[in-house]
Amino acid sequence: MKNYDLIIIGAGRASNLALSASKLGKKVALIEKSALGGTCPNRGCVPSKLLIGYAHVARAIKESNKHFIEASIQNINLEKIFEENNAYVNGINTVYKNKFNENVTVYKGSAHFLNNTTVSVNDEELSAKTIVVATGTRPITPGHEKAWSSDDLFPLKADIPKSITIVGSGFIACELANFFDAVGIKTKLLVRSNTLLKNEDGYISDIFKEEFSKNIDINFETTLEEVQHCNNEFVMTLKHKNKTSTLHKSEALLYATGRIANTDTLGLENTDIEIKDNGFIKRDEFFESSVKGVYVVGDASGEHMLQHAAAYEVNYLSKILFAGETKPLLFKYMPHAVFTDPEIASVGYTQEELDSNNSVYVSSTTNWLASAKAMSTKRTYPRTKLLVDPNSYEILGCHLIGPESSTLMHQILAVMHINNDVRHLKDMLYIHPALSEAILPAAVKVMEAVNNYKEKN
């Protein structure tokens, strides 16, 4: 039995906790069954966004005629694209490992709880009074043994396909479909429903669907009835809403249909740790599970399944464990973005959520054409949607669709985090004619809606 001050299961964002603890002289056991760094830099946000960069350049060239420029793509070196992306992924483990001092012992293997304070890994037993579970999630298993999930792309070990079929309608499916199509790989997206990005505000989702469908070949209200793989090709029978079936072929098939908890192999049945029906671990406002001294951060809780949320939680847990923090972390606002074409950023409630809660609010939508920088993109669809409490001036939700939405959103977030008063957006000085200036007419318009509400009530 080896005793530690802290055991961390999962070396994604929680590796930062190991780093903090080790600098304080704590003996840390860091257990990771895959590569250090976790999903984000190895199989998720970072390598997928590196691919999006190539897509942006390819799309800009293809759309250059909007700017009265005739240009064409002579060649897209897919081998170099994936070689560079693979090289990045293959270097992550070493980068993380070099961060740690002698107080951190890294165990490569799967952790298994033996009781509330003891875990086994590689036939070794480790014990600590403080254990942090940060095991994240994994993709739902693809519907065919030779099909891919997003994990199979980073690094891509298979041959680069000339054609691909992607199943799904969420952000992973849309981001990957956008990349593959943009770089010239024949792409088809299969969507069970009639909606893309169903968790976005309906107004934004509708615009996204219209614009995204201009580039991507999408079969809505379609399911895979049968899948066969022969002669290095998938042969699929697609069943459509009208009950008809069609045959479709592609070299690759990728499922992006959701993610599930990684807690099923932890041996939680040997502990008093309580889990939810969906396999995620229950925790309180201090990240502590039903067992004292066992904490849960990141996706393992199933609450805020975003990398920036996990990093924020890990940083705060460090304060709780080592700096005497006695207040719980309350996420006031949780933003997210979809990095595709069009780009989306969102924070707070959607209009549908406010309606279901019978909330009092006013709504406004504006285009970005007041900004010359926005006009220069030659895109007419970009919109800002603001949802505001007319009594308190609080921003209840903001939804953006357009170039650099994820960057633009931070202007909204800054106001929300200070004292969340939409009047600041109306009264502040904007650089002219920056892209951010598109926020000003949105703020003016929503304040008109607020004033109209007050006059009537």
Question: Could you report the per-residue pLDDT of 310-365, keeping only the tens digit for each?
Answer: 999 999 999 999 999 999 998 889 999 999 999 999 999 999 999 999 999 999 99
Question: Could you report the per-residue pLDDT of 134-188, keeping only the tens digit for each?
Answer: 999 999 999 999 999 999 999 999 999 999 999 999 999 999 999 999 999 999 9
List the one residue out of 85, 97, 74, 122 whose CA is nearest residue 19: 97
Helix (H) or strand (E) holding 373: helix 372-375
Question: Could you report the per-residue pLDDT of 395-454, keeping only the tens digit for each?
Answer: 999 999 999 999 999 999 999 999 999 999 999 999 999 999 999 999 999 999 999 999
Cα atoms in the 13 Å half-sphere on the side-chain side of 267: 14
Contact status, residue 436 vs residue 426, Cβ threshold 8 Å? no
Q: pTM (2 decimals)?
A: 0.94
Q: Hey, CA dihedral for 304, 307, 310, 312, is it positive or negative?
A: negative
CA 438 distance to own-chain centroid: 25
List the one residue out of 270, 236, 261, 45 whose CA is nearest residue 150: 45
Which segments of 66-141 does DSSP mark as H helices, in order? 78-97
CA dist 365 and 322 (Å) reads 46
Domains of the chain, CATH where assigned: 2-139+260-322 (3.50.50.60), 150-257 (3.50.50.60), 343-456 (3.30.390.30)
CA dist 314 and 317 (Å) reads 5
Mean pLDDT of the chain: 96
Binned at pLDDT 50, 70 and 90, residue 97 comes out as confident
CA dist 151 and 419 (Å) reads 40
Question: Could you report the per-residue pLDDT of 267-298, keeping only the tens digit for each?
Answer: 999 999 999 999 999 999 999 999 999 999 99
**Long-range contacts of range 76-85, CB-CB < 8 Å, 24 or more positions apart?**
76/183, 76/184, 78/160, 78/183, 78/184, 78/185, 79/160, 81/51, 81/54, 81/183, 82/155, 82/156, 82/160, 84/50, 85/47, 85/50, 85/51, 85/154, 85/155, 85/156
Tokens (6 digits) for 430: 């904007």
Tokens (6 digits) for 250: 């592609």
Contact status, residue 406 vs residue 339, Cβ threshold 8 Å? yes
Contact status, residue 261 vs residue 300, Cβ threshold 8 Å? yes
